[in-house]
Amino acid sequence: MIKLTTLLFLLAVSTFATASEPASFETRVDMTSWSDGVAVFTEGRVKSYETFARSFMPYIMGSRKYENQDATFTYFDMMLRPEKYLGKDIIYVKHKGLRASIAAEIDNTDPITGQRLAGFMETGMISRELLQSTKVLSLLNRLRRDVRRFASPIEKIEGSIAVSDPRNMWASLRIIVPASGSMHEQWLTLDGTDNEQIIASWKKLAAAWRSGDPEVVNTELSTLSVLIPLLGAGTAIYPDAGKLRLESLYFKLGNLTWVWLIYLSSVVLLLMSFVYRFNTVGRIGMSLFILALLLHTTAVAWRWYVSGRFPNTNMFEAITTASWMGCVFATLMQLFLRNSALKYIFPLGAATAAMVAFLAVRLYPLELNPHISNKMPVLHDVWLYIHTNFIIFSYCLIFVAAVAASLYLIRRCIQKARGTDGTNDYARAGGIASLVEMRSGGRSTLNTNMGSVLDGATMILVEISFILLWSGIVMGAIWADHSWGRPWGWDPKEVFALNTFLIFVVLIHTRMKVKDKGMWTAILALVGCCVMLFNWIIINFTISGLHSYA
Amino acid sequence: MILPLVAMSFIDLFTTVWFGVLTLCSLFLYCSIGSAGVPVSVDIFEPNTWRSVRETMEMTEFEWFHWWPFKWLVATLCLNMSIVTIRRIPLNILTVGVWTIHTGIIVMVIGSVVYFGQKIEGDVLISRNRVVIKIPGEKEMSMVAAPENSVSVGQWTFTITNLNPNWELMSGDDVGKKVYAVSVSVQGPDTSFIRQLISGYPQYTEDIVATDDTSKPMARAIKTLGRALVDDSIVIRLTHDVKDRFFVTQSAAVYMREVFPENGGFGNWVELPIHNLPRFNDHIPSGEDFWNAGIDTRLSPLTLSLGTNGEPNRLQKDAIVTGYLRYAFPESRIVSGDELFPVVWITLRKGDESAQSVEMFAFNDSLNTADPSLMAYRWIEDDSELELMEKSLPPSIICTVHSMEYALPVTDNEEFDTIGDTEYAYRVLSVQNNLRISGMVVSLAQVEIKKGAKKWERWVFDNRSMNRDVIEGEQHNTTNVTFLDDAIQMKYSPGGAPITIVGGLEDGSYGLLTGLGDGEPEFQTLVIGQQVPITDEVSLTLDRAESRTASETKLTIVPKSQRDPAASNLYSMIKLVLTVPEGSDSAWLPYHQYPFKSESEAVHRFRYDPTLMQLPNGNTYQVLFSRRSEALPAPVVLDSFEIDSHVGGFTGRTSSVLNWRSLIRFLGDKEVVAAVSVNDPRRFGNYWFFQSQWDPPDGSSAGLNYTVLGVGNRFGVLQMLLGCCLTVTGMLWAFYVKPMIKRRRQQAVYEGKCA
């Protein structure tokens, strides 16, 4: 446990730590004014340079950093001093099988190459030159034929090499607003301006960058970050400076995903208070939970403001928003049930869900990409907000139900080990009905023991998610009917949403008939959660379908 | 006596909740297996782990969920729900929720039966315009406005050279408006021009003609000839592309038409549907049609006869489908033959690393897989030709001074070399071979010439007429070439490929002629399989050589692991056998997404490649494998195609698109105009039309020339919706209202007792 906690702590603080002392030029260059003040046009969006660089560099380096440099610095450096990166390990290869195949093709008799290849196997970072050697190119051409396994990773490698070309990076840096001021014209690179001050300042900047003069670089960056936005002055086309700063800050703060650590703390304390009935610990746990939820709410609202739309259009947003919904629900439940035996159980489950969600987006930034992009045309519909939110909210509640169910099963295992029978530990009235009993001031079965409390909480969550899921499926069908011309197409995602619902139908009917109601409810709630996760993970990432964008 | 007992046992079985739970579990398993497949290893994140049972059984998702086991399971569940509800759940205020849920599900199932029982789904591709051509004395012809489409009328050829979806009107009432413009190149027996047509504005039709002015080679006819049209008897106009049929998803059909070789004419296309054609697994009648038969495949012939869309016809009776391939392509390979057509296969290696293999043809350089400027294969009739070849291998400059010709070597000497005994000297600054200039491939040597104290640079081409002297401050001009000294003339000879394989030697051996350095060309004998060094790093191996060969085309079946899942059935093929009393002919037909009627009806990105089948009785047919068609409720045309974009405008990328919109018109009894966009379909008759695909711009086209609309009917949707709403209402009642009623009743009883 101590080892695990230490590991988690290290993971949490790893982003704040600096691995090594970088060279002086890198540390003395201050990109802040440019990163926060200059807007870049890319793929139908205008974003701050900070955000742009952070979303661009993963195409080359994945989630890694080159010598711990900021993405904002590395972008400029690769563009202005490309020779520095010759032969350096800057391309990220994600596919581990492909890494092994590439490493096997490279002659590693030289100890330095051998060491680099060992590093490549571990980090996935390799140089363009090694990837472009005859043997590796020949290997990639061979492997490319295995379309399902290797075509996409090899395409990504080629894409990484192409975008790391300084000419490509220059062409992507569209920072000059069109002279017409029209919203419907593409922005231009610095080649597209005839403003002599900007050109002169850029020339000085580029020369100073190449010669490693941080003072001049900083001066010119500041000058340019004033001059360039002035080109868009008086038009609605250039984003507000405050919004650009906020956007940069949102990404600088790591999308606030470090909140998982506060959720973890609250999980530990809430679990202790729930199991041992430590009220003071419970209050501290709740305070941490509320703090985490406030930060979580800030993150959701911040993203909403920056992106200009409710955050539920990609996997990152679906996961973080779903867990936020679960936490808000849990807070409300805690508020209503603060004096009952059910207190702390909903925040505990929701905090676990939010913690897992934030950890997932931190650990898998490439799959759960946090960058903001335009919605696909099909997603521009009011049903995106209704159908998707119903579904993701139900999914979160299913997860929270699985947390309660797991605790129930753990308790039963402990009881079994102690030779106690827990068959009668279940909520007699069911889920919502138990709440009705409690609210009416009657004697609720939920007050009898912890087993019935856990079973009652599971049932409350199952009953609510049951209706939400079914309503979400129906609303999805209505949307599909006017979007794709048919309400139901047996797409894998549709089928597994239905499958999740079927499991809960089985749960409700099984509960009616079995003697050990609590245990079967818990088992089936866990199975339902597994099917839901299968739908969200395997169907999305492995078995493609029409819904693969979310 | 027994029958009522059996019936009662049956009803009792259906009255149990456990039976319902079992049915639900069976449904869960059935749905999971049909949708995700079954895992064959524990690595569930690996796509190859999930084996599709459905595809093995040749079923689409639609078919799997309409197979009898699924229908039986759903029917059993409905029956179980009905019997349990009626026998076990008395209808009262507390149980009305359960009754409503179960009723809702049954209503939804009935709606689904209606919906899926009549479901037809497909798509229709509509181009924006057709180009209609009328020449006096000739039949009116037309073609779809698509890049490079071409049609011949009499001695005239009309080719679409440019399509601009955003042509801005420069004059008139609608000045500034962006419209669709089509440029048609007109090639006549003794004249040629480009006619520019603007959709919706026939009054702006005008011709563009070639001029003698090299600075402005093309100009408006109105400016040069004083009239808008070169020849107003040639009428070219734009009309709508009228579509009256759509093509059904997951269907198959053969389209056939008779060819009349005597007059080059054709009969009408006949559509012959194929029912029960496999979609996922290969069915091979014999291995002889394939290069790689036996790999990933096994013999499994089909015998599918063709249906008809109306009256039975002769073509249908003669045809049978005997094979299907999900993913294959025709590939030509060189095999031993009778005619002299020498081919060599060599491998180039750099050090110990593997290098590339190339195939080279002595009589056709264009087939070579090596760069022809670096490597060539030459066949000689006798060994004396080898000497000439050696001489002509190095590049040289042929120079003529005072009628005397000198062959000057191309060297990288920095000093000037005197030309013979003339007063001229030269040095070569650079050479550039195989340059593409104005559609021609030329080679250039930049030479500095010296005469006395005077020096100047001359560009010397392999085409002497392109030579010129570089004079400071003068623009290059093709019409007024000036030479500072025309007493010296030059021509550049780029020489042969520096690596030339020589075949046809008298002793039957092969040789390698290399001219890589400044020295004399070197000749080495090549032995098959033996590695020969070319430079310090590079070596060459002659792997195989054939002098008498033929090209043979067979099919290559792509192994399953190499197939792109997103390609669906785009690379599928069927084998069609046409049999007549005199004999038969067979052919593998590639899949066509749309069965265009002719080459000039096809659009960018979609194949039109009909197969010619010649029967022993002399009849010839064009055949094409595509999808079955259905009639639309009314003919439909595309008036316009619009794109709404994000900030920065439409960049050509999908990421910049906010919405696509097709402005269509139904030409029924009454014309109906409709705008179909994403999430906003339109209904006409029993069908709904929704935005499905578009024509994105690419390197060869500005795009936006057509739209693809999804077409489908949707009966029973309201019933399904009613069922869903009933179910939700029932759930709310059962989970939330019922406990409250129960609690109030208990409380009333409790309060009554207390009182």
Spell out which residues of chain B touch residue A440, defining contact as CB-CB under 8 Å.
Answer: 743, 747
Banded pLDDT at B112 (limits 50, 70, 90)? very high
Task: List, for residues A494-504, the tens digit of each pLDDT value.
Answer: 999 999 999 99
Here the ipTM equals 0.86
Q: Above 70 in pLDDT, residue B312?
A: no
Q: Average pLDDT, whole number, for chain B?
A: 88
Report the percentage of chain A scoring pLDDT > 70: 93
- C-alpha to C-alpha distance for A52 and B484, rounded to whole angstroms: 56
Which residue intervals of B298-404 are DSSP H helices?
Answer: 314-318, 384-392
Count of beta carbons in the 10 Å neighbourhood of residue A434:
26
Q: At CB < 8 A and 24+ separation, what contacts does B87-92 make? A: B87/B11, B87/B15, B88/B15
Torsional class of B294: left (φ above 0), alpha (ψ -120 to 50), beta (otherwise): left
Q: pLDDT at position B487, please?
A: 87
Closest by CA to B460, choosing from B432, B497, B422, B498, is B432
Q: What is the mean pLDDT of residues B189-203?
A: 92
- Chain A interface mutation, best of B17, B21, B568, highest count of A Cβ atoms under 10 Å: B21
Task: List, for residues B577-593, the tens digit of each pLDDT value.
Answer: 999 888 999 999 999 99
Shortest Cα distance from A359 to chain B (angstroms)?
A: 19
> What residues does A125 pair with on adjacent strands?
A92
- Chain B interface mutation, best of A105, A188, A436, A541, highest count of B Cβ atoms under 10 Å: A436
Given an 8 Å threshold on Cβ–Cβ distance, is A489 in contact with B48? no
- C-alpha to C-alpha distance for B736 and B730, rounded to whole angstroms: 10
One-letter identity of residue B131:
V
Q: pLDDT at position B436, please?
A: 67
Given an 8 Å threshold on Cβ–Cβ distance, is B21 in contact with A544? no
- DSSP, collapsed to helix, strand or coil, labels residue B121 as strand
Q: Please report how many Cα atoms fall inside a 13 Å half-sphere around the Cα of residue A164, on the Cβ side.
A: 30
Given an 8 Å threshold on Cβ–Cβ distance, is B21 in contact with A509? yes
Banded pLDDT at A2 (limits 50, 70, 90)? very low
Q: Average pLDDT, whole number, for chain A?
A: 88
Q: pLDDT at position A546, please?
A: 47
Q: pLDDT at position B214, please?
A: 64
Of all helices (H) and strands (E), which one includes residue B556? strand B538-557
Spell out which residues of chain A touch residue B720, defining contact as CB-CB under 8 Å.
Answer: 477, 487
Spell out which residues of chain B touch residue A429, defining contact as CB-CB under 8 Å.
Answer: 739
Given an 8 Å threshold on Cβ–Cβ distance, is A44 in contact with B119? no
Between A16 and B624, the more confident residue is B624
- C-alpha to C-alpha distance for B344 and B523, rounded to whole angstroms: 17
Q: pLDDT at position B217, please?
A: 77
Q: pLDDT at position B200, please?
A: 92
Site of tokens 């909140």: A259
Spell out which residues of chain B touch residue A383, defining contact as CB-CB under 8 Å.
Answer: 679
Shortest Cα distance from A453 to chain B (angstroms)?
A: 18
Q: Above 60 in pLDDT, residue A89?
A: yes
Given an 8 Å threshold on Cβ–Cβ distance, is B710 in contact with A484? yes
Q: pLDDT at position A19, please?
A: 44
Q: What is the mean pLDDT of residues B130-141?
A: 93
Which residue intervals of B254-331 are DSSP H helices?
Answer: 314-318
Given an 8 Å threshold on Cβ–Cβ distance, is B711 in contact with A481? no
Shortest Cα distance from B295 to chain A (angstroms)?
A: 15
One-letter identity of residue B9:
S
Task: List, for residues B7-41, the tens digit of each pLDDT value.
Answer: 888 888 889 999 999 999 999 999 999 999 999 98
Question: Chain B: residue nearest A444 by CA?
Answer: B743
pTM score of the predicted model? 0.82
Q: How many residue pairs from chains A and B have C-beta atoms closer than 8 A?
A: 216
Task: List, for residues A428-461, the tens digit of each pLDDT value.
Answer: 878 888 887 776 655 566 666 888 999 999 999 9
Spell out which residues of chain B touch residue A486, defining contact as CB-CB under 8 Å.
Answer: 119, 121, 712, 714
Q: What is the mean pLDDT of residues B235-242?
A: 96
Listed in sequence order, the residues at least 6 apart from B155 whose beta carbon sits closer than 8 Å to its beta carbon are B188, B189
* A177 in Cβ contact with A232 (< 8 Å): yes
Residue among B647, B735, B740 whose CB faces A46 most closely: B647
Residue among A184, A432, A487 whose CB faces B717 most closely: A487
* A190 in Cβ contact with A200 (< 8 Å): no
Q: Above 80 in pLDDT, residue A16?
A: no
Closest by CA to B62, choosing from A548, A539, A488, is A488
Q: pLDDT at position B201, please?
A: 94
Q: What is the mean pLDDT of residues B411-434?
A: 87
Banded pLDDT at A229 (limits 50, 70, 90)? very high
Q: Above 90 in pLDDT, residue A329?
A: yes
Could you give the strand order of the β-sheet that contains B583-590, starting from the edge strand earlier in sequence?
Answer: B304-305, B319-325, B573-580, B583-590
* B693 in Cβ contact with B707 (< 8 Å): yes
Listed in sequence order, the residues at least 6 apart from B636 whose beta carbon sits closer than 8 Å to its beta carbon are B124, B126, B242, B243, B244, B664, B665, B666, B667, B684, B689, B709
Residue-by-residue DSSP string for B689-722:
EEEEEE---BTTB---SEEEEEEEE-TTHHHHHH
Q: What is the mean pLDDT of residues B251-269?
A: 90
Q: Regarding beta strands B375-379 and B499-503, do their DSSP bridges make them parallel or antiparallel, or are they unpaired?
A: parallel
Q: Above 60 in pLDDT, residue B549?
A: yes
Q: pLDDT at position B475, please?
A: 47
Q: pLDDT at position A176, please?
A: 94
Spell out which residues of chain A touch residue B742, defining contact as CB-CB under 8 Å.
Answer: 433, 436
Q: What is the mean pLDDT of residues B350-371?
A: 78
- Chain A interface mutation, best of B679, B684, B717, B738, highest count of A Cβ atoms under 10 Å: B679
Q: pLDDT at position A14, please?
A: 45
